[in-house]
Amino acid sequence: MKFARLGVNIDHVATLRQQRGEYYPEVMRAAEVALATGAHQVTIHLREDRRHIQDHDVPVVHDMCKKMGLPLNLEIGCSDEIIKIAIKEKPEWVCLVPEKREERTTEGGLDVIDPNNYQRVKKACEDIKAGSPSTKISLFVEADEVVLKKCLSLKADAVEIHTGEYARDFLDKKDVTAHLVKFNLGESIIKEAGWGYHAGHGLTFDSLETLLQETQFEEYNIGHWIIAESVFIGLGHVVKEMLTLINKYPLKG
């Protein structure tokens, strides 16, 4: 049987480190613990404002992933500076995300409908594929039919659906049926094209289980909740608990 993959985002280990400007807690150590415990990949986001992950973290974390024989998923915006770093590092995955300096966290998916922004994303995909042919690309987008069909015209390999609004409504105990319907429609569009169908943002243990029951997504990238919960019971323990949950729900087919 096939089960969904878990990517552990360790950005907020770096957030804690940057608060004091110390060398600890070490991001590399977080990557090692997550992967040794069974995570399928590590995700880090190198933002233009460098608010958490720093340039020097990228090769160190990637080296740990290589040592463990597992992929690095590097989230980046579409800036030329950051794309050059990604091309130099050649991670197994790059996830292209929108960025605004004033936001507290990523607030939504990429805008691929606006012609100017579409060209930025298109150029980013083309530059990455030219400079690092082995790197796969995912596009962080909303579960919108028009958006997803537009994504398929780009040189990418997967979409990662922004689950932030779903996760917030779940926490607020609102009806999430409309979100699930959109996710289901997105699955049919993306999988018919042979692309990967991933999800991430704002997910907790409980809101993840509802999605697992739907068996739509092949991969989940989860960070803030895992790091927050690990303050109380330890990173390895949280990863184990989440993997145990994931392995309750085989994917279709």
Whether 45 sits among the annotated catalytic residues: the reply is: yes
Q: Does 251 reside within a domain?
A: no
Q: For residue 47, which of 97, 121, 115, 109 has the smallest C-alpha distance? A: 97
Q: Does 252 reside within a domain?
A: no
Q: Does 213 reside within a domain?
A: yes
pLDDT in the model for residue 104: 57
Q: Of 12, 40, 45, 62, which residue is the catalytic one?
A: 45
Q: Which residue matches tokens 């040794």?
A: 36
Cα separations (Å) of 10 from 26, 171, 192, 213, 226? 10, 22, 32, 25, 9
Q: For residue 204, which of 178, 177, 183, 173 has the smallest C-alpha distance? A: 173
Q: What is the CATH number of the domain that holds 141?
A: 3.20.20.70
Tell me the whole-structure pTM to 2 decimals.
Answer: 0.96
Q: Does 39 reside within a domain?
A: yes
Domain of 22 in residue numbering reads as 5-245
Cα separations (Å) of 229 from 119, 194, 201? 39, 35, 16
Q: Of 62, 187, 201, 218, which residue is the catalytic one?
A: 201
Q: Where are the alpha helices (DSSP H) in 102-234?
A: 115-131, 145-151, 164-171, 177-192, 205-214, 224-233
Whether 75 sits among the annotated catalytic residues: the reply is: yes
Q: Cβ-count burial of 241 within 10 angstroms (0-12 exposed, 13-18 middle, 19+ buried)?
A: middle
Cα separations (Å) of 142 from 92, 149, 201? 23, 11, 11
Asked if 57 and 15 touch (Cβ cutoff 8 Å), the reply is no
pLDDT in the model for residue 235: 98
Q: Does 166 reside within a domain?
A: yes
Q: Does 127 reside within a domain?
A: yes
Segments of the chain scoring below 50 in pLDDT: none
Q: Does 173 reside within a domain?
A: yes
Q: Does 123 reside within a domain?
A: yes
Q: Of 75, 89, 142, 165, which residue is the catalytic one?
A: 75
pLDDT in the model for residue 100: 66
pLDDT in the model for residue 99: 81
The total number of structural domains in the chain stands at 1
Question: Which pLDDT tens digit goes with each residue over 67-120?
Answer: 999 999 999 999 999 999 999 999 999 999 998 655 555 568 999 999 999 999
